[in-house]
């Protein structure tokens, strides 16, 4: 997210070792609320699905892997959830050797888009272990949770990995993209790279919720397989093998379900009839594993 001139090549090998190298090269995409509102209107919290004229679709493991190049098949992103100032200071000193300054976050932000929770700090202690965690599933869990909360009538803002949501929408729905894809650089992994610094046209910036709503209602094209033909990095191959599973997504106290069985067309398969029960059981939806202050 920093300008190219501030990039220090000495840290590249360390970033590659952590698995965050590709994410670190992606520019911050600012939230565009009219488009966001039009997408949220189509979100069904009980199934984690966008309902579009073409059918049911959603952001999946495959999208996270190609857009951010984050590991999917790994250890759960979980641990102690103490957020006290003493905990933050001790962890920061142990890991970084100093108190952290204000820093942006792409994957796990609050509504300010500036902070990530201190609970992630212990997972960053050992460079050799950072890449072993399933950061992709944690990122997707936060997106699902953010969309579910945003769909409530009294919610006015949305947090979470909005970069992931916008790039997913622009890649799959050309009618709402800020620029025609044929004038962008060729698609390569991470896919977010070619959108992060693209210039939005004045006409696109002036679109309203009603305009985006109309574009979605009358779309003529949806890209079911936007990543076909892309060169996949070697470290990503094993993770793509589990992209179509139905499983819980875990990020500390946040648990959400990955409904791959409802969007099999996105994986190149025929979509079978919906199973019964169709919806996520209430006791497995928007789960929050909360306990006392110092709790694993």
Confidence of residue 154 (pLDDT cuts 50, 70, 90): confident
Domain membership flag for residue 178: yes
Average pLDDT of the segment spanning 64-75: 91
Domain membership flag for residue 161: yes
pLDDT at position 113, please?
47
pLDDT at position 7, please?
56
pTM above 0.85, yes or no: no
Tokens describing residue 182: 């044929």
Q: In angstroms, rounded to a whole number, what is the distance separating the alpha carbons of residues 203 and 205?
A: 6
16-30, 71-85, 148-162, 244-258: segment of lowest average pLDDT: 16-30
Tokens 């360390």 sit on residue: 14
pLDDT digit string, tens, across residues 38-69: 999 999 998 999 999 999 999 999 999 999 98
SS3 202: helix
Q: In angstroms, rounded to a whole number, what is the distance separating the alpha carbons of residues 179 and 170?
A: 9
| Alpha helices, H only, the chain | 12-18, 21-24, 33-40, 61-68, 85-96, 127-130, 135-150, 162-172, 193-196, 202-205, 209-217, 237-240
Domain membership flag for residue 196: yes
pLDDT at position 1, please?
35
pLDDT digit string, tens, across residues 220-240: 899 999 999 898 888 888 889
pLDDT at position 24, please?
52
Domain membership flag for residue 118: no
Q: In angstroms, rounded to a whole number, what is the distance separating the alpha carbons of residues 31 and 39?
A: 12
pLDDT at position 167, please?
93
Q: In angstroms, rounded to a whole number, what is the distance separating the alpha carbons of residues 40 and 37?
A: 5
Q: In angstroms, rounded to a whole number, what is the distance separating the alpha carbons of residues 79 and 163?
A: 26
The number of folded domains in the chain is 1
Tokens describing residue 92: 């920061």
Average pLDDT, the chain: 79
Residue 152 or 144, more confident: 144
Closest CA to 60 of 170, 141, 174, 152: 141
Domain membership flag for residue 209: yes
Residue 121 or 57, more confident: 57
Domain that holds residue 32: 23-77+133-284
Tokens 């409530």 sit on residue: 152
Domain membership flag for residue 110: no
> What are phi and psi for residue 182, nearest 5 degrees?
-70, -15
Confidence of residue 203 (pLDDT cuts 50, 70, 90): confident
């Amino acid at each position: 997210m920093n300008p190219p001139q501030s990039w220090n090549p000495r840290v590249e090998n360390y970033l590659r070792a952590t698995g965050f190298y590709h994410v670190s090269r992606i520019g911050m995409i600012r939230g565009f609320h009219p488009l966001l509102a039009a997408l949220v209107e189509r979100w069904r919290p009980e199934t984690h699905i966008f309902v579009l004229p073409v059918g049911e679709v959603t952001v999946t493991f495959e999208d996270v892997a190609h857009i951010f190049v984050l590991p999917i098949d790994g250890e759960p992103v979980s641990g102690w959830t103490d957020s006290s100032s003493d905990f933050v200071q001790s962890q920061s000193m142990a890991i970084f050797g100093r108190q952290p300054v204000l820093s942006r976050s792409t994957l796990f932000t609050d509504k300010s888009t500036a902070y990530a929770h201190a609970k992630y700090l212990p997972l960053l202690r050992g460079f050799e272990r950072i890449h072993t965690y399933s950061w992709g599933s944690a990122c997707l869990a936060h997106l699902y949770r953010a969309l579910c909360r945003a769909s409530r009538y009294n919610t006015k803002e949305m947090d979470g990995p909005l970069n992931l949501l916008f790039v997913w929408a622009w890649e799959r729905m050309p009618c709402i993209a800020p620029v025609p894809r044929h004038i962008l650089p060729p698609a390569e992994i991470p896919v977010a790279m070619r959108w992060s610094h693209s210039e939005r046209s004045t006409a696109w910036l002036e679109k309203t919720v009603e305009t985006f709503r109309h574009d979605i209602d009358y779309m003529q094209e949806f890209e079911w397989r936007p990543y076909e033909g892309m060169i996949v990095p070697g470290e990503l191959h094993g993770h793509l093998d589990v992209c179509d599973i139905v499983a819980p997504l875990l990020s500390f106290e946040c648990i959400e379900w990955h409904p791959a069985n409802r969007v099999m067309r996105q994986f190149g398969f025929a979509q079978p009839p919906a199973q019964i029960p169709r919806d996520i059981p209430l006791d497995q939806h928007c789960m929050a594993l909360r306990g006392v202050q110092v709790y694993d």
